Amino acid sequence: MAQPSTIFKANIQISDMDRHYYGDHQLTLARHPSETNLRMMVRLLAFALHAGEQLNFTRGLCADDEPEIWQKSLTDVIELWIDVGLPDEKRVRKACGRSDQVYLYLYGSRSVEPWWQKNMDKLQRFDNLSIIEIPDPEQMTNLVQRNMELQYTIQDGEIWLSGGELTCTISPIVRK
């Protein structure tokens, strides 16, 4: 029998001085049995960096033809496609063809550089693709709880994440 997803609740407060976005979101995240806390927290970080009224989590790992997060127009056009991890070039190419803007958040310190070297030339041709590396994302896993209260403060490309007594700083690296 297959294991069910683990449900997490996250109440997040976002103060994004770079985009002038300030908002609170009550989110329910289903963590697939094969998903780690690290991957879930990178997904949550990606949501915070693009938060808005129309941004939604998708079925994620359960659906090959959907990103982790997307924003659709009222006419069902995919305006924003957000994926995390190290997808194959074919998936990225498909995303760029289906969406106005694609963001890819890379993580996994030892795996990122070989992936980037293998795919860099092929991915440079996509004008609607942005690739961002999240270095040292493991620090975010200390904040994982079934019910999380998190604050994201974003300024000058730096992210300060706090939950309770714990805080961490994330300095994303723009690859493309």
Q: Is residue 25 part of a domain?
A: yes
Q: Is residue 48 part of a domain?
A: yes
Question: Which tokens sit at 102?
Answer: 């694609």
pLDDT in tens, 95-118: 999 999 999 999 987 889 999 999
Residue 42: is it exposed, middle or buried by C-beta count within 10 angstroms (0-12/13-18/19+)?
Answer: buried
pLDDT in tens, 4-52: 788 999 999 999 999 999 999 999 988 888 889 999 999 999 999 999 8
Domain harbouring 117, CATH code: 3.10.640.10
Q: Is residue 1 part of a domain?
A: no
Q: Which domain holds residue 46?
A: 6-174
The pTM is what? 0.90
pLDDT in tens, 80-96: 999 999 998 999 999 99
Q: How many domains does the chain have?
A: 1
Q: Is residue 24 part of a domain?
A: yes
Rg of the chain in Å (alpha carbons): 16
Question: Which tokens sit at 80?
Answer: 């924003």
* 116-123 CB contacts, 8 Å cutoff, 24+ apart: 116/175, 119/89, 119/92, 120/175, 122/89, 122/93, 123/89, 123/92, 123/176
Q: Is residue 27 part of a domain?
A: yes
